[in-house]
Amino acid sequence: MAVTTPAARTAAAPTKTKAPKARRRPLRHRLRLDWPLVVLTLPAMVQLAVFFYTPSAYSIIAFMDYSPYRPLWENPIIGFTHFQILFEDPYFVDALLNTLQFAFAQLLFVFPFSIVLALIMHSVVSTKIRSTFQSIVYLPYFFSWVLVVSVFAQVLGQDGLLSRWLVGMGGERLDIMRDPDSFMFLAWMQWTWKDAGWGMIIFLAALAAINPALYEAAAVDGANRWRRLWHITLPSIRPVIVLLLILQLGSILSVGFEQYQLQRAAVGWGASEVLDTFVYYRTILASNGESLGTAAGLFKGVIGLLLILAANNIAHRLGEQGIYQKS
């Protein structure tokens, strides 16, 4: 990304003819020229310093025998003990395994669903149908998880629409909102309902950018619709797919908090505990968990960082664009 290499500097310079001249001047002169830009940027940088960099530095608590009742620097550093405790803690291991399960389920079932949805949408010729459909499926993305869970309870809950209908037909009530065993399926339905439509937006844009002459040439050469899909469409949107895959990999340990916390009471913690809820219930609501929770959070952050760097590296080696080589 924004690594300050000499190459990057020279690459950035020609975009503005004034830049190289300004760079050679002493800081005082450059400040006199650019102070409005710095003033405009500073508030955001202060926000980052306070609410991103300070907490990042506080992560050192993970290596301390921390107590909130003494000043930070008086806490003794004890190394990796808390990480060791974490991995011997069955609750943490369960939360980690659950998180990985949810993350892979999202990767395997929601992500491809968005691609398929985009392909189907793209093949609809009528603009009217397309835009109507798009306005419907984007909408739930803007709903909070509280709303999504509430609406789901109204339809799939014990007293919901479907249960009522089933009882009316002489069947039994649905219990899916409370059943720990099927929570994964429920979570999948909720992700799909909320996010899959929105997920297709970027694929649709990539599909729209494909040169139609390619399709025409292929059709003239006798390629049918499936071969055109395989040989033109999919290779054309591959960079976008790879890009989104990398981003998903980077956030593989952060599957979110709200969806699981909201349904924790209904399905039990065993099925719904993820890393974020583990940290919340262990440090914020309980006492003496500060170092342990920070260690779990730091573990999550570092693994996310490593995954995103590794995935990007692999993408580069495979000849894909990846996320950053620009800016």
Please give the structure tokens belonging to residue 268: 């039990």
* Shortest distance (Å) from residue 93 CB to another protein: 18
- Near another protein in 196-215, by CB under 8 A: 197, 201-202, 204-205, 212, 215
For 256-277, give one letter per residue: b (16+ CB within 10 A) or e: beebbbbbbebbebebbbbbbb
* CA dihedral sign of residues 14, 15, 17, 22: negative
What is d(CA 202, CA 240) in angstroms, rounded to the nearest whole number?
8
Site of tokens 């190394």: 79
303 near another protein (CB under 8 A): no
What is d(CA 183, CA 266) in angstroms, rounded to the nearest whole number?
10
* Shortest distance (Å) from residue 298 CB to another protein: 6
- Near another protein in 68-97, by CB under 8 A: none
Please give the structure tokens belonging to residue 182: 């099927």
* Shortest distance (Å) from residue 186 CB to another protein: 14
115 near another protein (CB under 8 A): no
* Shortest distance (Å) from residue 315 CB to another protein: 14
* Shortest distance (Å) from residue 313 CB to another protein: 13
Instruction: Look up residue 89 and give its amino acid.
Output: D
In the complex with another protein, the residue whose CB is nearer, 85 or 284, is: 284
- The total number of residues shown for the chain amounts to 327
Number of residues that bind another protein (CB under 8 A): 130
7 near another protein (CB under 8 A): no
Contact string 143-182 vs another protein (x = CB under 8 A): xxxxx-xxxxxxx-x-xxx--x--xx--------------
Selected binder of another protein within 64, 243, 252, 267 (CB under 8 A): 243
Selected binder of another protein within 85, 93, 97, 120 (CB under 8 A): 120
Residue 211: Cβ-neighbour burial (10 angstroms; 0-12, 13-18, 19+): exposed
What is d(CA 248, CA 307) in angstroms, rounded to the nearest whole number?
10
Selected binder of another protein within 7, 44, 77, 169 (CB under 8 A): 44
Task: Judge contact between 122 and 204, C-beta under 8 A.
Answer: yes
